[in-house]
Amino acid sequence: MSMVLSSRALLACALGAFTLVACSDEHSHDHGVDAAPPVIDAAPDAPPAAASVTLALTHLVAGAPVAIGTTTPYTNTAGNAFGVTIVRYFISDVTLTYADQQERRIAGVHYVDHDLPATLAWHLADDLPTGPLASVAFTMGLAPANNVTGAFTAPPESLMEWPVMMGGGYHYLKFEGRYVDRSAAPFNFKVHAGPLQGTDYSFPVVLDATGHTVGAAGATLPVQMNLERWFGAWDLNDYFNAAHPGIMGDAAAQAALRANGAAVFTLGPS
Amino acid sequence: MRSRLVAAVVALGAAACTASDPPPAPYDLPLPPGFPPMAVPADNPTTEPGVALGRQLYHDVRLSPDGRRACASCHRQDRAFTDPAAPGVLPHVNLAWSRNFLWDGRFVGTLEEAMVMEVEDFFQTDVARLAEPDLEAMFAAAFGTPEITTTRAAYALAQFQRTLTSGAAPYDRYWAGDASALDAAAQRGLALFYSERAECFHCHGTRLFTDNQFHNIGLDADVAGTGRGAITGAAGDDGRWKTPTLRNVALTGPYMHDDRFATLEEVVAFYSSGVALSPTLDTIIRIGGFQLTPEEQADLVAFLRSLTDEAFVTDPRLGPPP
């Protein structure tokens, strides 16, 4: 009701700030995991399932953890100097394949925001088999069946909304930052991916998990997003300029981004 | 802890009800199509007498110790519950979905907590001043006891705030299938609004037309210590201000946290060519502005005017009690 608050109000605002911290954990960022049991395709002679597995999401540039900011300390393949401000995305439907060819499929959707620590781990299940792994697979983005406007009703997930005029649903990815253009001026880039006009640009990711084992104490699998690889060989001047400020409405760019995405994820060491 | 304390206070009040008292009639809160679910806490259900009390208090100058101000003093219904004459007043529209309050987010919490803050800290309400027969009767109807507390007053205000829901503008009729609800200029403006050419929708998204987050849209080149940063102390928050809803935006000028723009035309012109580069400028914003043509700017303004919900700003249920 007013912009003016007393010093007493400021004290109470401090309490409010604690509320904000608590808010980040107010709801799970895993969707379809807690609400329904995971879909598990188990071999008939599978050993008792007992271990928990978590995906730990990290974001790298040139192999090192990304430093968020509007400066441009990095260089992509095309030689553009760039920096990163925002990394937000959905991954969904994980499949663990064991060395003995057992598969465990965990259906669900997980939202990741680099700035929200609570989103940087996806606890898949507590009842998974132990043993050495062969691969970890998931979908980058949302499967079309999950990608319907209104499916997410609360932020931050709801803020990934993809405009109905572009087909509706939700962004798969918001990767933003700043680069230095041909005129040596700063220009903001917005690598936003989504289901443009009904075409699904999500894609499967399969990571070699040789050397990773689900032990009795479970496993944390370090999934790395190597941010500069989203650009592939792109010269950012060609994709983010005065005449072409973004790629959301550009089907060719969405397809190219999907192709670049094939190399974006890696599985780090245990 | 604070909310638990508040809940305990209200629970004590509720305990004053006798088993023979009928429960207050629930207030029907229909959601506009496409709106997210509205959170209503279990300790403050929205009821007919609770909303009536909240409406009374919203318009009642007895809320302030000097008897000169009520909420409605700076939140006029005909201006979508803001006031062009009061500096920096955000409209009371769809606050039921907000957790960040005021331009710099100096209060973060639930609607109930925000209203407690308003009653106790902004108005510094003297409950003795409220202890008059008409209000005591309304408190008794709403909370089962005539005892007046600041918490109960705040909870009643929160109930009334939940009725300040706006989602019946021409834009909404257009999406519901009435193509005639938007003229050609507004339809062109809508297409621009939801494009990266004008880049409005990422912050003013969902059917609420706000993400309720904080952004630096490039109002100033020197942002040190301003906006959200003045509250959090984080340099990365400097120059970031809360995204206001665009619902009824044609009625809520002047615009921005410091009222620097008098008209929507000035706002759109700023986005077109007035964006200043600063260390925290959002990367969703084009440095220097979006370079919109005069025709595009006019179309955007036409679209923004289509967000005016005439029923909301004239609904007698939201105005002063008879």
Tell me whether residue B242 is in a domain.
Answer: yes
Residues B71 and B99 occupy one common structural domain: yes
Q: How far apart are CA A62 and CA A74, in angstroms?
A: 8
Cβ proximity of A5 and B106 under 8 Å: yes
Residues B262 and B210 occupy one common structural domain: yes
**Domains of chain A: which residue ranges?**
9-42+50-267
Which domain covers residue B81, as residue numbers? Answer: 2-166
Residues B242 and B174 occupy one common structural domain: yes
Q: Hey, are the CB atoms on B206 and A161 less than 8 Å from each other? A: yes
The larger pLDDT score, comparing residue A18 to residue B309, is at: B309
Would you say residue A224 has pLDDT above 80? Answer: yes
Residues B25 and B158 occupy one common structural domain: yes
Would you say residue A13 has pLDDT above 50? Answer: no
Contacts of B285 in chain A (CB under 8 A): 188
DSSP chain A: --S---HHHHHHHHHHHHHHHHHTTSS-SEESSSSS-------TTPPPP-EEEEEEEEEEETTEE--BSSS--EE-TT--EEEEEEEEEEEEEEEEEETTS-EEEEEEEEEEETT-GGGSEEEEEEEEPPEEEEEEEEEES--GGG--TTS--STTGGGGBPPGGGT-SB-SEEEEEEEE-TTS-EEEEEEEE--GGG----EEEEEE-TT-EEBTTBEEEEEEEEGGGGGTT--HHHHSBTTB--STT-HHHHHHHHHHHTTTEEE---
What is the reported pLDDT for A46?
Answer: 55
Residues B159 and B259 occupy one common structural domain: no
What is the reported pLDDT for A218?
Answer: 96
Q: Which tens digit of pLDDT belongs to each residue from B224-235?
A: 999 999 999 999
Residues B11 and B132 occupy one common structural domain: yes
Residues B28 and B94 occupy one common structural domain: yes
Tokens in use for A106?
């965990």
What 8-state DSSP symbol labels residue B285?
S
Nearest CA in chain B to A176: B283
Tell me whether residue B311 is in a domain.
Answer: no
Tell me whether residue B321 is in a domain.
Answer: no
Contacts of B92 in chain A (CB under 8 A): 1
Residues B107 and B189 occupy one common structural domain: no
What is the reported pLDDT for B10?
Answer: 40
Would you say residue A53 has pLDDT above 60? Answer: yes
> What CATH number corresponds to the domain at position B178?
1.10.760.10
Cβ proximity of B225 and B196 under 8 Å: no
The per-residue pLDDT of chain A, averaged, comes to 87
What 8-state DSSP symbol labels residue B218?
S
Q: Which tens digit of pLDDT belongs to each residue from A135-187?
A: 999 999 999 988 999 999 999 999 999 999 999 999 999 999 999 999 999 99
Strand pairing of B241-242 and B214-215? antiparallel
What is the reported pLDDT for A31?
Answer: 80
Tell me whether residue B132 is in a domain.
Answer: yes
Of B166, B188, B207, which residue sits at a domain end?
B166
What is the reported pLDDT for A47?
Answer: 55
What is the reported pLDDT for B18?
Answer: 52
Residues B32 and B116 occupy one common structural domain: yes
Nearest CA in chain B to A85: B283
The alpha-carbon gap from A262 to the nearest alpha carbon of chain B, in Å, equals: 25
Q: Which tens digit of pLDDT belongs to each residue from A20-33?
A: 223 334 578 888 64
Residues B59 and B152 occupy one common structural domain: yes
Which of A2, A82, A175, A189 would best serve as a mutation to test chain B binding (most B beta carbons within 10 A)? Answer: A2
* Mean pLDDT on A10-28: 38
Residues B63 and B124 occupy one common structural domain: yes
Tell me whether residue B78 is in a domain.
Answer: yes
Given a cut of 70, the residues of chain B with pLDDT beneath it are 1-20
Q: How many domains does chain B have?
A: 2
What is the reported pLDDT for A239?
Answer: 97
Residue among A234, A229, A233 nearest A266 (CA): A229
Q: Which amino acid is at B295?
A: E
Residues B151 and B18 occupy one common structural domain: yes
Q: How far apart are CA B278 and CA B14, in angstroms?
A: 52
Residue among A95, A102, A94 nearest A131 (CA): A102
Q: Hey, are the CB atoms on A153 and B36 less than 8 Å from each other? A: yes
